[in-house]
Structure 1
Amino acid sequence: MSDGWEESAAAWIADMGDAGDFGRRFVMDAPMMARVRLRPWRRALDVGCGEGRFCRMMKTEGVEAVGIDPARSLIDQARALDPQGDYRVEAAEALSFGDGAFDLIVSYLSLIDIPDARAAISEMARVLAPGGTLLIANLNGFNTAGDALDLGWTTLADGRRAHAMDHYLEERSAWISWRGIRIRNWHRPLSTYMGLLLEQGLVLTHFAEPAARGGDPARTAHYNRAPWFLMMEWRKPDSGNQPGS
């Protein structure tokens, strides 16, 4: 069954442009890049790289990045925009790389698109080198548990805008459509992601719910009424420092 990404690739590429959408450009790019700049990385993997935008951003910081995505049309665009880059058609649930191949793995708003989060997180942990970092940006579960089209926002009978959600603890998928894009997103409570990451023996070293900065003031204010995104950084313990060792 299609998840909509191949069919939506052209509309996604047109919508994203080179700068990215509002949430990436004015909310998540700066804090994500700040974490990337904390140390030199030997080799990075961008899981769910789409058209390769964040790979290209890391490349400007001197990071050798490999991008993978299951949508061939998005990988074709990534290769066209960065002919010297390394972009591959792969699913996160079955990575072709050897154990410990990367010291930085990035999942930038891609976990919500992956049907089998357990398999994907297990694979990311496997190819992460001891001492390496898994950097995750994801939609906040309070949003994905709300109305898929408006990310939880609703208008009350008295005209006030409020953030609503339902069935937060139930893992489920929903189809979301905007500007010619129609894709399947997954809602999972934060506890599900935390549990899967902890199962892999990873250690949480950073957590944030970044605020919007810059851009249209009205839109920035709307984004900052409730946290749209979250960011987590997890470290894989060194071989001689595994939990319980």
Structure 2
Amino acid sequence: MIYEHPLAYLLGIEGAALLRAFTGEGDRRFVEERLAEVRRLLDDESLADLGTEVRRVGTVEGYGVWAGTYDDPGNAAFDIDRPVVAEILGGLAPGEALDAACGTGRYARDLVGRGHRVIGVDSSPDMLDRARASVPEAEFRLGDLHRLPVDGGAADVIVCALALTHVADLGPVMAEFARVLRPGGHLVISDVHPEAVARGSVPSVRDTDGRPARLATHRHPIGDYLRAALAAGLRLRRCEEPRPPAASHGASGEAGPWELWPWSLARMIPEAAGAANAGVPAMVVWHFQA
């Protein structure tokens, strides 16, 4: 069980901003304003009783709940990883492609459009139902990243998007990707950046009983991806760390409903949040080759 308290998050963001100021990214006025804001937050009685117990749920349960709204326009993550992934895929010849942890099939659809013969694999039956309806030209199979239901050496291209953050140990999954790739095949991964995870970028859902829940998420340092891939015999071709678009919202005086945390909390302290998050990547995109 996770205990989420908005005051704790706000103080954490203030602390991150002050740490950056300590090394020269903020002047005396900025530091004094942050300290004054911390005092104000501690005195704000409206924040005192908002702590919430949040369940941690696995991907099958979590994405089963999220499947119905996963493709809604509000899912801003798609616009962040798509340009880099599309650029990499645009340089690859059509062949046999695997969309690993395919979800509702957004990259399966893209791969089909690029002339690939596509198999999509996901552990969520609900997500697969939507993928089959959305991309009838592809084949979809129920399976897990640790035991992909695909023959060894079967894929020229593997795409795995926004999934490895839910995996505790990257090593076995990278080894499985290497097993499935043909010699010279390409692996393209996008994932939530560890710095974004550390700042609260963890998917939220209401479970079947309506209780707050977060999908089990792991913060993998950048080096962990590289070490796991190299150990599996994969060669690095490219790494990018796309950043989110600049925030355009103004200040807000309320924490908002739990579903909007941590984004609504950041709006309560826009100057501190802007300083704490300045230049922090939202995603990491990898291109490896067998």
- Bin for the TM-score computed over the shorter chain: 0.7 to 0.9
Moved more, 82-91 or 5-14: 5-14
Report the counterpart of residue 177 of structure 1 in structure 2: 204
Aligned position for 2:104: 51
TM-aligned CA distance change 1:99 to 1:7, over 3 Å: closer
Name the residue aligned to 1:117: 170
Deviation at 1:105, TM superposition (A): 0.7
Decide which of 198, 211, 215 is 2:230's aligned counterpart. Answer: 198
| Structure 1 segments unaligned to the other structure (5+ residues) | 152-174, 237-245
Say if 2:108 and 2:135, in contact at 8 Å, map to a contact too: no
2:141 corresponds in structure 1 to: 88
Gaps of 5+ in 2: 1-55, 208-212, 250-262, 264-272
- What is the TM-score of this pair, normalised by structure 1? 0.74
Tell me by how many angstroms 1:188 deviates. 2.0
2:148–2:176 contact (8 Å) kept in structure 1 = yes
Q: Percent identity?
A: 26
| Other-structure match for 1:208 | 240
Q: Deviations over 1:192-232 (max 9, x none)?
A: 22111011121111111123459x7559x978641011111
Aligned to 2:193: 140
User: Would you say the 8 A contact 1:135–1:233 is kept in 2?
Assistant: yes
8 A contact 1:136–1:233 mirrored in 2: yes
Q: Which residue of 1 is the match for residue 50 of structure 2?
A: none
Q: Once the two structures are superposed, what CA deviation does each residue of 1:37-96 show, in whole Å capped at 9, x if it has no partner?
A: 112121111111111121112222222221101111111221122233211100010123
CA contact (8 A) 1:47 1:106 kept: yes
Alignment of 1:210-229 (within 5 A): 210-212=242-244, 217-218=248-249, 225-229=279-283
Task: Please provide the CA RMSD for this pair.
Answer: 2.7
Q: TM-score, normalised by structure 2?
A: 0.63
Residue 187 of structure 1 and its aligned partner are, at CA, apart by 1.7
User: Which residue in the other structure is 1:186 paired with?
Assistant: 218
Matched, 1:103 2:161: no
2:165 and 2:122 map into 1 onto residues whose CA distance is: 14
- From the two aligned structures, give the one with the greater helix fraction: 2
2:44 corresponds to 1:12: no
**Bigger Rg, which one:** 2
Return the offset for 1:5.
Answer: 3.0
Do the aligned partners of residues 105 and 125 (structure 1) sit closer, same or farther apart at CA in structure 2, a change above 3 Å counting?
A: same
Change (3 A) 1:11 1:75: same
Structure 1 residues 232 and 197, CA gap change in structure 2 (3 angstroms) = same
1:100-126 CA-partner distances (Å, limit 9, x unpaired):
111111111111122342211101001
Name the SS for the 1:14 alignment partner: coil
Alpha-carbon contact 1:93-1:116 (below 8 Å) kept: no
1:154 aligns to what? Answer: none
Structure 1 residues 162-216: Cα deviation after superposition (integer angstroms, max 9, x where no partner)? xxxxxxxxxxxxx7525666311122222222111011121111111123459x7
User: Could you tell me whether the CA contact under 8 Å between 1:211 and 1:224 is conserved in 2?
Assistant: no
Is the Cα–Cα contact under 8 Å of residues 156 and 181 in structure 2 kept in the other structure? yes
Q: Partners in 2 of 1:77 and 1:17 — Cα distance?
A: 10
Moved over 4 A (4+): 178-181, 216-219, 221-224
For 1:6, the aligned partner's letter is: V
In the alignment, residue 64 of structure 1 is paired with which amino acid?
R
Whole-angstrom distance in 2 between the partners of 1:120 and 1:235: 15
1:39 to 62, 68, 92: 92
Q: How many residues align?
A: 206
